[in-house]
Amino acid sequence: MEWTRTVLAIAALVFFFFQAKTRSKNKRLPPGPRGLPILGNLLTMGTKPHRTLQRLALHYGPIMHLRLGLMPVIVVSSPEAAELFLKTHDLVFASRPPLEASKYISYNQQNLVFAPYGSYWRNMRKMCTLELLSNHKISSFRSMRKQEADLLVHRIRVAAAACVAVDLSSMITSFSTDVACRMVIGKKYNRDDFSEKGFVATVRETMQISSAFNLADYIPQIRGLDLQGKTKRMKAISKDFDDFFEKIFEEHVQSKDEDRTKDFIDVMLGFMGSEETEYRVERDTIKAIILDMLAASMDTSAATIDWTVTELIRHPHVTKKLQQELEDVVGTSRTVEESDLEKLEYLGMVIKESLRLHPVAPLMVHAAREDCTVNGFHIPKDARIFINAWAIGRDQRVWPDADKFRPERFVGSNIDVRGQNFELIPFGSGRRICPGMQLGLTIVRFVVAQLVHCFDWKLPNNMQATELDMTEEFGIVSPRADHLLAMPAWRLNT
């Protein structure tokens, strides 16, 4: 039986391969490298696809065509090209492709990140914005963020008193996890609530497997064979999350505490089965949205804080300048408050420069909803669109000394990260811009300011800053490959 299925899959591959070749024969596709039959350019992607695609774009241009398996892929690698896809033709490219990860982990694309463009996605985005991501909601969680930041500072201060190094990456991840869980599920994550693998590790695995090049996504005819074993892994991840969410739901339903402040899950459960939206909100809908909110707020903020502190340790003159600004605005007798952030202009430059070099999502995937002509090139319906934010942030035409960390480049510049300046789009742009951008920026600025204001940092064992490994781990979010270990020293007069 397996042999028969394999033969049929190969026959289907040959048929669809030649059919695709015939369809595109008379169309002017963007330039790009030739690929192998059936596999296309899949084997050239490597472990750092954003870097591979940047190198190819230097040869073939900012709008490049590849074939990954049987799927046409358009790679966008310059600010001008990004504006065409994310602004001029935004509606055409506002969708997401159907991926195996979104099928198994995201409850068949019922979340915000992977949902195709349409009325369902618009309704869910509106609901999440109103109930969790609006400025009012973000402000309502300010005291909670301060509590968690104070705990983080306390733990580091204890280590500073003992003159020991801290695993700053792990501490930041724990902070982000606690903040996300308290916002979304109303309490800190309890290890006993999740599988043996652990909640944070499973979220990280989800981010990696969701962005990995899965043969089943690009050669659908062989998905039943699960040649890479990814479907089996995704089913296991899905079960772990599903069991966790069922426990959380049950706790909320059974809660008798009438004075308890309602959290996001309470609100979503209140919508379940109602006709308040065009779509009935069911249990799986809530699970998909909650997973989105948790994973996005945890991993993105933690990775950005981690990268920013790493760059500051590597560039002590930038740290000194930022600490001077903090002393001028905050003083040395107290820690930073969120109300201080708007006065910290140089901090804003540091964060922008960090996001330029280490964008939240290095490779953003869209899908063409219909045939379209962009800059004279034919973009076929259902083509995958890869927006290479990593390459755009390192475009030598736009950014002199693009590989150097230099926050001063933003002095007198109006370039911002909010999707209007296509030279810097770490959160995307257009209809699919990250809805949690404001929350993420608030957390990142607050924690970075706190860590730099409260502590001086150096590397352990007389390690030089130039010896720091700056390798990233590719995923939907790209964190540091190695954890950041550093020695803190308390610097405030308290």
> Distance (Å, rounded) from C-alpha 303 to C-alpha 469?
15
Count other Cβ atoms within 10 Å, centred on residue 372.
19
Residue type, 165: A
Terminal Cα-to-Cα distance of the chain (whole angstroms): 73
**Six token digits for residue 384:** 């995958």
- Structural contact between residues 112 and 129, judged by C-beta atoms closer than 8 angstroms: no
Residue 167: its H or E element: strand 166-167
Own/partner pairs, 40-44, CB within 8 angstroms, 24+ separation? 40/66, 40/67, 40/68, 40/69, 40/70, 40/71, 40/218, 41/66, 41/67, 41/68, 42/68, 42/69, 42/213, 42/215, 42/218
Buried b (16+ CB within 10 A) or exposed e, 211-248: bbebbbbbbbbbbeebeeebbebbeebbebbbebbeeb
DSSP structural state of residue 362: S
Chain centroid offset of residue 458 CA: 28
Residue type, 195: S
φ, ψ of residue 486 to 5 degrees: the values are: -150, 155
- Reduce the DSSP state of residue 228 to 3 states and report it: coil
Look at the chain and count its residues. 494
- Structural contact between residues 377 and 28, judged by C-beta atoms closer than 8 angstroms: yes
Residue 367: its H or E element: strand 363-367
- Structural contact between residues 487 and 310, judged by C-beta atoms closer than 8 angstroms: no
> Residue 229 to residues 209, 215, 226, 258: CA-CA distances in angstroms?
11, 10, 5, 47
Residue type, 407: P
**Six token digits for residue 77:** 């690698």
> Distance (Å, rounded) from C-alpha 310 to C-alpha 324?
19
> Distance (Å, rounded) from C-alpha 453 to C-alpha 157?
12
> Distance (Å, rounded) from C-alpha 61 to C-alpha 59?
6
CA neighbor of 152 nearest in space, from 168, 165, 139: 168
Tell me if 181 is assigned to a ligand binding site: no
CA neighbor of 184 nearest in space, from 222, 128, 241: 128
**Binding site, residues?**
434
**Binding site for heme, residues?**
434
